[in-house]
Chains A and B, each alone.
Chain A
């Protein structure tokens, strides 16, 4: 038994590392279509890790939330985003505000910071997943960095969703997931949010003929 749980813990660490790697890949990816694919992969890893937690804890509710992840983050959201990008013709992100090497270095700094912050807490975790809280926080911060360094509206939204992935991972890794009602509520909010943004993209493009956010910098203090 101890042997299997050790194995499970190692597998989970592997998934966590995969999540982090995908975050870095997203940080440097300039083509929006591929970014969505990476996001879907992140969802898939999240699904696998949630499944693993569900198996090790033998909790039915966690299986449900794994299913929810699969449907929402691997299938529905990427599908919506792909469609949006094709219809809006937003295949390329114009340029990064900060070049890739600098972004990577900043990302590394954030990862170290996240680990430092989570260190005292993860020792308290009773679950098999104690090392992963730092990674979850790092994924959140990297997604945040991506939102800051990008200009296209679509990319910012993908960053926003990646941040939500990190949060979800934190919830399953530190605890065995939030209660089901809450998870459903969160999923609903995310879905509605993306739909609203979809509507929003068309409004923005109608007004500005572009999804480049530097048009959206006129409301200044004066």
Chain B
């Protein structure tokens, strides 16, 4: 029941918003639907905590501690982003960057995108997972090109083609998975693609096929995670799309794609019994972390900068999942949470900062503190949080990743340290002049909704100081599951 609500509400919202069109209350309706989804997901969480994993609708949907936590996170960030988007898009309309007709498309697609992500998270069927990931791409392509500028069209084209090709690889991987499973679970039965069934027989699946399948699945879904060297679409899409879309892409879509990778990894690792999948995750993760960090130096656009920072962080998380074991998985899950919250809050402030300055070029954004203390401080605090300064939660998770890496894979620590150090220097030196000093920027025509920024950062701060036992238990259960 709760599952149907979580899936159905955003879908309904998308239809409603397509009908409502450009009326005044469209943005409020968007917020309302997101809030309703958040409430439904809260009920789902309560139910899973009370009664354990749920299988529903002929086992097509499956909720355990791993995905329920991501569902809750997705619904939460989806709601806060909708809150932020209301004044933000109004200002964009005021500046003449979007027409009210395109806002209709924007709101409708926003909800559809949320629905696709929930479907990807909740489904038990590896094939449906693929369909949902592709649907998530399709619903965001037109959002990235919403402004119809040359740059945004180029970014959307790149996004579509790269993610399309990537996800085609994932489909091949899924076919191979089905091929291996069919021999044990019977053909034509819908069960041969169900994750729970696959998980039960993973020890008997043909290791050669699963090994090859994993290569394709990792490359495919990894493209959507933004893992180097398949990351090219990510900074463009983040920089050229509307800021709320950058926030949900970075904060949510990357997590969902990584979720798909991890689900596949659990199956494959259980089948081939070697640490090959782990090593592949570690290699891709480290490469992304280091490359992402070094590319930070060359950025001039504020949203590109934080796009690359997302690549770096997804790299760290992927690496942690590769290291495996209860502690590293715990750290990876924690990092997924805090990165999602922090990065979306940074995009919120960065979006308003560039609206006030009238440009996304960091050289031209100056002295935000004198325009609006909330934007200025939001940007400073968000940056400090994402750079892993204590006492924010990012510090806790990065510290855990580092210490586990030191113990299990000492060769990797220098790479991680370099990535973290370079990222620190690059982002800190850019943010500082944007916030302090003189400015020529003008105040915003509508007052921004920056409560979400501080709510997110407050949660990240709390997670750094004290993880509530219930949440820690939850992470631990999920970490156990991933193995």
Contact = CB atoms under 8 A, between A and B. Distances in A.
B209 A121 contact: yes
Contacts of A99: none
Interface stretch (B152-160, B279-287, B429-437): B152-160
Contact of B153 (A147, A163, A181, A207): A207
Interface residues of B, number: 50
Interface string A162-178: 01100100110011101
Contact of B145 (A59, A125, A140, A200): A200
Contacts of A84: none
A156 B179 CA distance: 29
* Size bracket of the A interface: 35 or more
A174 B125 CA distance: 19
Interface string B191-213: 01100000000000010110010
A1 interface: no
Contacts of B190: 179, 181
B151 interface: yes
A192 B165 contact: no
A200 B145 CA distance: 9
Contacts of B164: 160, 193
A207 B168 CA distance: 29
B208 A120 contact: yes
B141 A196 contact: yes
Contact of B175 (A163, A170, A222): A170
B201 to A, nearest CB: 16
B188 A156 contact: no
A156 to B, nearest CB: 6
A163 B165 contact: yes
A165 to B, nearest CB: 11
Contacts of B178: 171, 175, 178
Contacts, number: 134
Interface in A168-202: 170-171, 174-176, 178-179, 181-182, 185-186, 188-189, 192-193, 196-197, 199-200
Contact of B161 (A126, A160, A189, A206): A160
A208 B209 CA distance: 45
A95 interface: no
Interface stretch (A11-19, A24-32, A68-76, A213-221): A213-221
A121 B215 CA distance: 14
A181 B127 contact: yes
Interface in A123-176: 124-126, 137, 140, 144, 147, 153, 156, 160, 163-164, 167, 170-171, 174-176
Contacts of A147: 161, 165
A5 to B, nearest CB: 17
B386 interface: no
A175 B161 contact: no
B252 to A, nearest CB: 20
13 contacts: A125-B179, A160-B165, A167-B168, A175-B182, A181-B125, A181-B190, A182-B127, A185-B127, A189-B135, A192-B138, A196-B138, A204-B157, A216-B154
- Nearest 7 Cβ contacts at the A-B interface: A182-B127, A185-B131, A216-B154, A189-B134, A174-B179, A171-B175, A219-B236
Interface of A: 59, 61, 117, 120-121, 124-126, 137, 140, 144, 147, 153, 156, 160, 163-164, 167, 170-171, 174-176, 178-179, 181-182, 185-186, 188-189, 192-193, 196-197, 199-200, 203-204, 206-208, 213, 215-219, 221-222
Given A156-B161, A222-B300, 19 more contacts: A140-B168, A153-B157, A160-B161, A167-B168, A167-B172, A174-B179, A182-B125, A192-B135, A193-B134, A196-B160, A197-B160, A200-B145, A204-B153, A207-B150, A208-B150, A216-B158, A219-B155, A219-B236, A222-B298
